[in-house]
Amino acid sequence: MQLEQEVHKAGQYLNLELLAAQIVEGFISGLHKSPFHGFSSEFAEHKVYNQGESTRHIDWKLFAKTDKLYTKRYEEETNLRCHLILDNSASMHFPKKKNQSLNDLNKIGFSVLASACLMQILKKQRDAVGLSIYSDRYEYYAPEKGSERHRRMLLHVLEETIGQPKEKKQTATYTYLHQIAEKIKRRSLIFFFSDMFQDEVEEEKLFEALRHLKFNKHELILFHVLDKEKELNFNFGDEPQQFTDVETGEKIDLYADNVKDSYQKEVEIYFSRLKLKCAQYGIKYVQADINGSFNKILSTYLVERQKFV
């Protein structure tokens, strides 16, 4: 399959742009069969009609085809500012992989490719995009721009990110989220990719930083990236395993089945608390399983963009 061939060499993507373009084109084609039917052929030209708006710009031809009301959007209305935030801490490089392919990604690989897909769809919409990457330091920042040169620069940064294994260091996510929030001055749609692994002591500080990102009328979508099979279901077989904390290097030997129930209970409590806090702060929470497709990422963008503009 061509998609499979475009990935992997020393843990890096050979052609991230081409792979993202193929995924996005497949997604747009699939809109014909989805509730968003009618957007695929005129993707950047319409938005959902909201009750109370002027009926002057309703596209009646599209209404005849879709039985849904859309208004024509003119070029000056289509420009949106979007900022992508990537957690590049050591835990995001789980599971450890020498090479990655479309069907075999770790958390940072999934997040990088998802970001590239969003950039591809933002290009189609003529929207401006910016990027922030952090680990145990603030690694990269680029403000929102819409030029092709800018987009290619961000793709290059993403390609480099996936091929650089991280040292086992703890990451104070909240520190960098506050710094990013200070940099994003104009109202933007913010997509944040993170596995949200934090010490209990830092949890409240993290939520405060997320609230900071909501300032200036920004909209924040949190993509909670995880390997559901291992990190939620804790399926590691019935043989003894050695587990290593990817951020501290601490090791422990145990039978996964012996702690599975208690582990799942604690994780589910944390996830529930995370969802509740996001709901309280008006943050869109989306669980993103690295073994799933990218359609959830792209459809979330489509829905949130319609509400944002």
| pLDDT tens, the chain, 309 aa long | 334 334 444 344 457 898 899 999 888 877 755 555 444 444 445 677 778 777 877 888 878 888 888 776 654 445 789 999 999 998 898 888 878 878 889 999 999 999 999 999 898 878 899 999 999 889 999 999 999 999 999 999 999 998 776 666 667 789 999 999 999 989 999 999 999 986 656 788 888 999 999 988 899 999 999 998 887 766 666 665 655 555 566 667 665 666 767 878 888 888 999 999 999 999 999 999 999 999 999 999 988 987 886
pTM, two decimals, is 0.78
107-124 vs 16-30: helix crossing angle, rounded to 10: 70
pLDDT at position 256: 61
What residue ranges in the chain does DSSP mark as E strands? 7-9, 12-13, 46-48, 70-72, 81-87, 128-134, 138-145, 189-194, 219-226, 240-244, 251-255, 284-289
- Asked whether 83 and 144 are in contact (CB, 8 A), the reply is yes
Q: Which of 156, 302, 105 is nearest to 221 (CA)?
A: 302
pLDDT at position 45: 59
Q: Is 289 exposed, middle or buried (0-12, 13-18, 19+ CB in 10 A)?
A: middle
pLDDT at position 38: 42
Going by C-beta distance under 8 Å and a sequence separation of 6 or more, which residues neighbour residue 176?
A: 132, 134, 137, 138
How is residue 244 written in tokens? 């290593």
- For residue 95, whether the previous peptide bond is cis, meaning omega lies within 30 degrees of 0, is yes
How is residue 175 written in tokens? 């520190």
How is residue 120 written in tokens? 């591809």
Count of positions (residues) in the chain? 309
What φ, ψ does residue 287 adopt, rounded to 5°? -80, 125
Please list the residues that pair with 82 across neighbouring strands.
129, 189
